[in-house]
Amino acid sequence: MDEPFFITINYRNTEHSFESRIRWMGYTHKIEVEVFGTMVHFEPDEERNYRAILVDPTADTSKELKPGLLQAIASYLEEQVKSK
């Protein structure tokens, strides 16, 4: 199941849509989200809360990739997974 899908986040009164993919890795998964040109993996912890990990930690993220935006994406993913 490698088909792309879009997630829509409302952050600071602006709606953003990000292309995403689920990457299965054995018994667990990562959700790969392209955030303004930067690839970010969201992986679940033991409590099914998601944490963001930059695929390329040397990427310049100073202008567009804000911690609040990443938290909003993680919260959205948690809501979707926990509602299933």
Helix (H/G/I), strand (E/B), else coil: 60? coil
Q: Are 16 and 8 in contact (CB under 8 A)?
A: yes
Amino acid at 74: A
0.85 exceeded by pTM: yes
Q: Are 65 and 72 in contact (CB under 8 A)?
A: no
Domain that holds residue 22: 5-82
Q: Per-residue pLDDT for the chain (84 aa), expressed as one digit of tens each?
A: 578 999 999 999 999 999 999 999 888 899 999 999 889 999 998 888 999 998 887 777 666 788 899 999 999 999 887 776
Number of domains in the chain: 1
Cα→Cα distances 45→13, 50, 74, Å? 29, 6, 12
